[in-house]
Amino acid sequence: METIVLGFVIAIVMALLYVFCRLIFSFWVFPVLAYRKLKRNGLDGPSPSFPFGNLSEMKKKIINVQSSNISHDIHSTLFPFFTRWQHSFGKMFIYWLGTEPFLYIADPELLKKLSTEVTAKNWGKPAVFRRDRSPMFGNGLLMSEGDDWVRHRHVITPAFNPTNLKAMASLMVETTNKMLDNWVTLIDSGAQEIDVEREIIATAGEIIAKTSFGISDQSGRPVFEKLRALQMTLFKTVRFVGVPFGKMLHPKKTLEARKLGQEINQLFLSLIDERRKSIRGSTPQHDLLGLLLKQSEQGGFTKSLTTQELVDECKTFFFGGHETTALAITWTMLLLATHQDWQHQLREEIREVVGDKGIDVNMLSGLKKMGWVMNEVFRLYPSAPNAQRQAKADIQVSDDLSIPRGTNMWIDIVGMHHDPALWGEDVNEFKPERFKDDIHGRCKHKMGYLPFGFGGRMCIGRNLTFLEYKIVLTLILTRFSFTISPTYCHSPSIMLSLRPSDGLPLPRFPFGSLSEMKKIIINVQSSTKNWGKPAVFRCDRAPMFGNGLVMSQGEEWVRHRHVITPAFNPTNLKAMASLIVETTNKMLDNWKDSGPQEIDVEREITATAGDIIAKTSFGISYQSGRLVFKKLIRTSQMTLFKTSRHVGVPFGKIMHPKETLEARNQPIVLAKIHQRVDAQRDLLGLLLKENERGFTTQELVDECKTFFFGSHETTALAIIWTMLLLATHQDWQHQLREEIREVVGIKKLRWTCFLDLRRCVYSNTITDCA
C-alpha cells in the first residue's frame, strides 16, 4: 500500500516537475537563447523586465492624442516608443512583448533580403498572435502557415479574379446609393450629424456580405455586430499579450472573447449549412463562399477545406474584407475635406471620365488622380499599420546577419511610410502627386511602401479594395462636397486597424448634385457621442427613461439616434399634421361645450399632446394612448419628482420603497408593444423593425417610454407658457391672431376668441383664449 502511495506521490512530483521545466523553457530558456543569438548578430534594443518585457513602457507611452491641428505625423504619436527606440537602436532592434522577443523592422533593405531568402510558404505568424486572435481569424488565410496556407490560398484566389470582381460592381453601386439616400433622409429630417465612419463601415460590411457570402444585410448584421464587439474586447482594452498566463489577468475579457468567437462560429456554421443545402438543389453561386464550398466538395484532398477551416475563412474575410477598405475611404474623406483643391480635382475627373452616366467598371481605371489620392491615403494612414512574421527556419540574410528559427518579427508599415529618409522632408504632407508617374510614390526604396504587405503573402483582397474604393468615393463625390469644421479633433488610434478614434461624424449638411455642389461641414470632433449622463440620474430616472435616447451614452447613443432619426423626416412629420389638427379640434370642441365653468388648460393640453404622440408615433388609439400616458406620467413623474427623495444618497431608494416600486411601469409599455404586429412607418414601426435586427426588447421599451414622456410634455408646456404670456400681453395675442387670419385665412380657423376661460392653472385672468 505504502509503495503505491509513494509511487503516486513520485508520479505527481514528476508531473509537476515536468510542467515546471516546460514553463521555464518556454517562458525563459528558449526566448533568452533566441535573444542571445540575435544579439550576437549585433542587434540591440531596450532592456526588458521579466515577465512583462517592454510592455509597461509601451503601454505607458500610448496616449490618445487629440488635436485640433491636423498633423499627419502619426508615427510619433501612435508609437512614441518605436520612434524613441529607433533613435537609440536604428531601424532594426529587439524588443519584448512579455516573454516573447520581437525583431522590429522598419528597414526596407532588410525586408527585400528577407523576401528573396524566404518563400511565402515558409513564413510563419507569431504563435502569440495566432493564439490571441484566434476567436477573430481562427486558422484562416491570414494566420495559416506552410502547406495549410498554400492550400487555402489556392482555393481562395479564384474568387478574386477580374470576372468575379466585375460582377460585384453593381451590388457595390446599389448598396452605396442606399447609404447616400439615407444620408439625404437624415439631412432632410434635421439630423444634427452623421457618423461617416460608421456609415461607411456598415456599407462596406453589407457589400462583403452580399458579394462574398450572398447574404442580405439583415443576416449579415448579427455577424458584424458580434465581430465589432469581439474587436472591442480584444483590442480596446489594455491587455498583456505575450505575458505568461496574461489572459488570466483579464478573465472576464478572455471569456467574453471566447464566447463571442463561438457565437460567430455558430452563425457561420448555420450559414454554411444553408448554402450546402441550397447548392444541392440549384446552381451554385460564384461568390467566395460558393467557391469555397465547391472546392471543398469536389476539390479532392489537396484542395478541400474542413468545415472549421471554412468557418475560419468566412471570419477572416468578413472582418478583413470590409473594415480595411471602409477605413481607407473614411481617411480619404478627411483628407479631401482638408484639401479642397484635391476634392475639386477629383470631382472634375469624375465629371470627365464618368460623366452623368452610371458607373461602368471599365471606366474606373481612367480615374488616375483618384488612384494617386488612394495611394497617398494608404501611405499616410495605412489601414493595416503593421505586419507580423515568424521565421520557420534560420534565415541567412547576409554574411554577418542570421535570423534564427522561431524569431518573431514586427514590420512597422506606418514607420516606413512616415520615414523622411525614404520620402523626403515633406513625408508628413498630403501630396498625391508623388504617385503621378511612380507606383512607389517616389519612395527611395521599393520596399518602403507596403500598404498591402509584401511577397507571396501580400493581401489577397487588394483588387477588391481598389474597385470598392473607387466606386464608393465616386458616388460620394458625385452627390456631396465637404469641408472641415474648425473644431475638428484629430485622434487616430489603433484597434488592430488604424482608425479615427471617435469616428468621423458630419453635422447636418446640405447636399447637391454634380452640377450644384454645396458645402458639407465635417466635424470630426465627436463631442456628442462622448458626453455621458450622471449615473445618479440614469439610475434614478430609469423607470421613466430606461436607457433610451435621453439617457444612453457613447456607441449606444449613436445606434439609438441612428435608428430613430428617420421617424422625424419631413414626410413622416407632414403625415402627422392632420392627426394633430383633429385631436386639437376635439379638445377645443370639448372646451366649447364645457359651459362657463373653469377649464384646467395645462391638464387639457398635456393630455392632448399625449394623445397626439400616442397616435402619431405609436399608432395606438386615443384610449390606449391615454392609458399608457396616464400611467407613465402619473406614476413615474409624480412618484419620481413630486415626492422629496434622496437622490445620490446611498440606498436612498430604500427610504421610499412605495414610490420606488410604484415607479416601475414597464409591463404596461410591454403589453402595448406586443399588441403591435403591423408594419407602420411611425416611430414604433421603425423600432420594431430594428428589434428584428438586434434592438433588444428592453431597448424598445426604453425608447417608447422616453418618447412618450419626452415628446409630449415638453411641447405641451411650451404651449401652456405661451398662453400665459399671451394672456398677459394682449397686444401680442392680437398680432398673432391677425397673422393667422392673414396667413391661414378665416375659413380654416374654426373659432378664435370664442372661449371665455375663467381660470387656467397659472392664471385666472386668461380670457378670450383660442
Binding residues: 459
Q: Which is nearer to ligand HEM, 142 or 522 (CB)?
A: 142
CA distances from 362 to 174, 324, 352, 354, 471 (A): 17, 24, 14, 10, 11
Q: Which is nearer to ligand HEM, 209 or 517 (CB)?
A: 209
> At its nearest, how many Å lie between ligand HEM and the CB of residue 291?
13
Q: Tell me which residues in 135-174 interact with ligand HEM (CB under 6 A).
A: 141-142, 153
The reply on whether position 319 binds ligand HEM by CB under 6 A is no
CB 165 within 8 Å of CB 468: no
Helices (H), 619-696: 622-630, 657-662, 666-675, 683-692
One-letter identity of residue 569: N
Q: Which is nearer to ligand HEM, 377 or 669 (CB)?
A: 377
> At its nearest, how many Å lie between ligand HEM and the CB of residue 461?
2
The reply on whether position 220 binds ligand HEM by CB under 6 A is no
Q: Which is nearer to ligand HEM, 460 or 683 (CB)?
A: 460
> At its nearest, how many Å lie between ligand HEM and the CB of residue 142?
4
Rounded-to-integer distance, Cα 555 and Cα 560, Å = 9
Rounded-to-integer distance, Cα 318 and Cα 306, Å = 18
Q: Which is nearer to ligand HEM, 384 or 605 (CB)?
A: 384
Q: Alpha-carbon dihedral of residues 634, 636, 637, 638, nearest 10 degrees?
A: 60
Q: Which residues pair with 260 in a beta bridge?
A: none
CB 707 within 8 Å of CB 545: no
Treating both helix axes as pointing N-terminal to C-terminal, what angle do 251-281 and 288-298 enclose, rounded to 10 degrees? Answer: 70
Using CB atoms within 10 Å of the CB of residue 650, give its burial: 0 to 12 exposed, 13 to 18 middle, 19+ buried.
Answer: exposed
> At its nearest, how many Å lie between ligand HEM and the CB of residue 255?
27
Q: Which is nearer to ligand HEM, 271 or 542 (CB)?
A: 271
CB 272 within 8 Å of CB 311: yes
Q: Which is nearer to ligand HEM, 153 or 258 (CB)?
A: 153
> At its nearest, how many Å lie between ligand HEM and the CB of residue 212?
7
> At its nearest, how many Å lie between ligand HEM and the CB of residue 159?
9
CB 31 within 8 Å of CB 100: yes
Peptide bond into 244 cis (omega under 30): no
The reply on whether position 316 binds ligand HEM by CB under 6 A is yes
In the DSSP assignment, the letter for residue 285 is: P
Residue 531 gets the label, from left (phi > 0), alpha (psi -120 to 50) or beta, of beta
> At its nearest, how many Å lie between ligand HEM and the CB of residue 386?
8
Q: Which is nearer to ligand HEM, 123 or 480 (CB)?
A: 123
> At its nearest, how many Å lie between ligand HEM and the CB of residue 341?
24
Q: Which is nearer to ligand HEM, 464 or 640 (CB)?
A: 464
| Residue span 709-728 as binding mask against ligand HEM, x where in contact by CB under 6 A, dash where not | --------------------
Q: Which residues pair with 493 in a beta bridge?
A: 499
> At its nearest, how many Å lie between ligand HEM and the CB of residue 329?
9
Instruction: Provide the annotated binding site for heme.
Output: 459
| Residue span 327-346 as binding mask against ligand HEM, x where in contact by CB under 6 A, dash where not | -x------------------
269 C-beta neighbours (distance < 10 Å), count: 15
First to last CA, the chain: 103
465 membership: H or E segment, kind and range? helix 462-479
Of 664, 659, 655, 657, nearest in space to 641 by CA = 659
Q: Which 3 state secondary structure label does DSSP give 372? A: helix
Q: Which is nearer to ligand HEM, 98 or 382 (CB)?
A: 382
Q: Which is nearer to ligand HEM, 140 or 246 (CB)?
A: 140
Of 353, 412, 411, 344, nearest in space to 373 by CA = 344
> At its nearest, how many Å lie between ligand HEM and the CB of residue 656?
57
Q: Which is nearer to ligand HEM, 45 or 321 (CB)?
A: 321
Q: Which is nearer to ligand HEM, 304 or 463 (CB)?
A: 463
The reply on whether position 317 binds ligand HEM by CB under 6 A is yes
Q: Tell me which residues in 437-496 interact with ligand HEM (CB under 6 A).
A: 451-453, 457, 459-461, 464-465
499 membership: H or E segment, kind and range? strand 497-500
Q: Which residue has the cell 431597448?
A: 699
> At its nearest, how many Å lie between ligand HEM and the CB of residue 723?
59
CB 449 within 8 Å of CB 443: yes
Rounded-to-integer distance, Cα 373 and Cα 434, Å = 9
Q: Which is nearer to ligand HEM, 208 or 544 (CB)?
A: 208
Q: Segment near ligand HEM (CB under 6 A), from 319-327, 503-511, 616-624, 698-706?
A: 319-327
The reply on whether position 108 binds ligand HEM by CB under 6 A is no
> At its nearest, how many Å lie between ligand HEM and the CB of residue 336?
16
Of 661, 392, 438, 703, nearest in space to 563 by CA = 703
All three cell numbers of 219, joined, read 443576416
> At its nearest, how many Å lie between ligand HEM and the CB of residue 227?
14
Of 444, 681, 669, 721, nearest in space to 573 by CA = 681
CB 403 within 8 Å of CB 38: yes
Q: Which residues pair with 103 in a beta bridge?
A: 94, 409
> At its nearest, how many Å lie between ligand HEM and the CB of residue 431?
20
By CB under 6 A, the count of residues binding ligand HEM is 24
Peptide bond into 135 cis (omega under 30): no
Choose, by CB under 6 A, the member of 138, 321, 448, 503 that binds ligand HEM. Answer: 321
Task: Give the CB-nearest residue to ligand HEM.
Answer: 461
> At its nearest, how many Å lie between ligand HEM and the CB of residue 677?
39
CB 496 within 8 Å of CB 316: no
CB 467 within 8 Å of CB 361: yes
Q: Which residue has the cell 456598415?
A: 202
Rounded-to-integer distance, Cα 605 and Cα 767, Å = 17
CB 363 within 8 Å of CB 354: yes
| Residue span 369-398 as binding mask against ligand HEM, x where in contact by CB under 6 A, dash where not | -------------xxx--xx----------
Q: Which is nearer to ligand HEM, 239 or 457 (CB)?
A: 457
Of 135, 138, 313, 325, nearest in space to 233 by CA = 135
CB 709 within 8 Å of CB 545: yes
CA gyration radius for the chain?
32
Residues that bind ligand HEM (CB under 6 A): 141-142, 153, 316-317, 320-321, 324-325, 328, 382-384, 387-388, 451-453, 457, 459-461, 464-465
